[in-house]
Amino acid sequence: MRHPSARQPHRVLIASANPLFRQGLRKVYAERWGEKAVIVAMPVTMEETLSALENLHPDLVIVDHDDKTINREEFLNRFIAGQTPMKVVLVSLSNAEPVVIYDRQRLTSMQAENWLTNPWE
Q: Which CATH number is 74's domain given? A: 3.40.50.2300
Over the stretch 6-51, which tens digit does the pLDDT of each residue have? 578 999 999 998 898 889 889 988 888 888 999 999 999 999 999 9
CB 61 within 8 A of CB 88: yes
- Is residue 2 domain-resident? no
In eight-state DSSP terms, residue 36 is G
E strand intervals along the chain: 10-15, 37-41, 60-64, 86-91, 100-104
Range of the structural domain that residue 69 is part of: 10-117
Q: Backbone phi, then psi, for 24, in 5-degree steps?
A: -65, -45
Q: CA 69, CA 50: separation in Å to the nearest integer?
A: 12
- Is residue 26 domain-resident? yes
Which neighbouring-strand residues pair with 21? none
Q: Is 13 exposed, middle or buried (0-12, 13-18, 19+ CB in 10 A)?
A: buried
Over the stretch 63-113, which tens digit does the pLDDT of each residue have? 887 778 888 888 888 888 877 888 898 888 777 777 887 877 767 778 777
Q: CA 121, CA 115: separation in Å to the nearest integer?
A: 8
Which of 53-57, 60-64, 69-73 is least confident? 69-73
- Is residue 87 domain-resident? yes
